[in-house]
Amino acid sequence: MSSPPASAGHLALLGAFSLSFDGDPLAPSTAGQRLLAMLVLTQGRRRGPRQTVAERLWPDLPSEKATAQLRSVIWRLPRPRGRSFVVADATTVGINHDVDVDLWQAQDAIDRALVDDASSPPSPLTAQELALLGCDLLPTWHDPWLQVEQESFRQRRLHALERASSVLRLEGRYTDALTVALAAVQCEPLRESAHRSVIEVHLVEGNHAEALRQFHSYRRLIAAELGLPPSPAIRRLVGPLLGRPVDA
């Protein structure tokens, strides 16, 4: 993945909020942080109606006051060297096109990993992309408008990691496949399909003891956390290694 261009702003929403320009950290107000995050999540790379953004951010205010509040927040955003992170006119507002956003990088990686084209398998995830997909979207924020976006990103990145692991395993790139599968387990330890991805890599490499260790670790975890047994699908993966029912 290419590095952000020189003299560029960088906005991070994965793991924790941060804003910087040319590597120097900036400190927008809480309202400014919410505005930047909402523009990325609801408008993407396009501009959207100012009024809609204002009413989403301040749903309890009358429309006129919400619009005035938005105008004030935009005016107070940092402008390092005269560069603005937000572009706005009388009716629309959006993120400046030259701002580098980590969420967009992660979404591009997810889209590439989920391409279902056997004739052109997706290129492997880079170390930087794996690091991004290992992070939740603004995990300490609990704004109502953000909750659906948080869960959507979580599910898509987990599916992308599992898909990438499967492609790498079929290509015989077992070390990379295992790394990606373990990243999915780390993201969501209770997700059975992530553990199955790890077990499948161990099995194809002939590491039966590692496969059984992963299975038993998962079985103990969901028993302790959820009071549930593993599904028949994951039990079938390791059953032949035991020569007896896996829950015996």
Q: What is the spatial distance between Cα 37 and Cα 17, in angstroms, rounded to a whole number? A: 9
**Predicted confidence band of residue 246 (pLDDT cuts 50, 70, 90):** low
Q: Is the pLDDT of residue 29 over 50?
A: yes
Share of the chain above pLDDT 90, in %: 76
- Check whether 245 has a pLDDT greater than 80: no
148-168, pLDDT tens digit by residue?
999 999 999 999 999 999 989
Q: Taking all residues of the chain, what is their mean pLDDT, rounded to a whole number?
A: 90
Q: In this predicted model, what pLDDT tens digit does every residue of 54-81 receive, in sequence order?
A: 999 999 999 999 999 999 999 999 999 9
Q: What's the confidence (pLDDT) of residue 100?
A: 94
Residue 220's SS3 state is helix
Do the beta carbons of residue 97 and residue 45 sit within 8 Å? yes
| Least confident residue range of 68-72, 229-233, 239-243 | 239-243
Structure confidence at residue 6 as a pLDDT band (50, 70, 90): very low
Report whether pLDDT(189) > 80: yes
Q: What is the pTM of this model?
A: 0.84
Annotated domain spans of the chain = 9-100, 101-242
Please check the confidence at residue 1 and state whether its pLDDT lies above 50: no
Alpha helices, H only, the chain:
30-38, 50-57, 63-76, 102-113, 127-133, 147-170, 174-187, 192-205, 208-226, 232-242
For 103-115, what is each residue's pLDDT tens digit?
A: 999 999 999 888 8
Domain 101-242 CATH superfamily? Tetratricopeptide repeat domain (1.25.40.10)
Long-range contacts formed by 235-238: CB under 8 A, 24+ apart: 237/196, 237/199, 237/200, 237/203, 237/211, 238/199, 238/211, 238/212
**pLDDT at residue 131 greater than cutoff 60:** yes
Residue 156 · residue 38 · CB < 8 Å: no
Does the domain at 9-100 match CATH 1.10.10.10? Answer given as yes
Tokens, residue 74: 């935009």
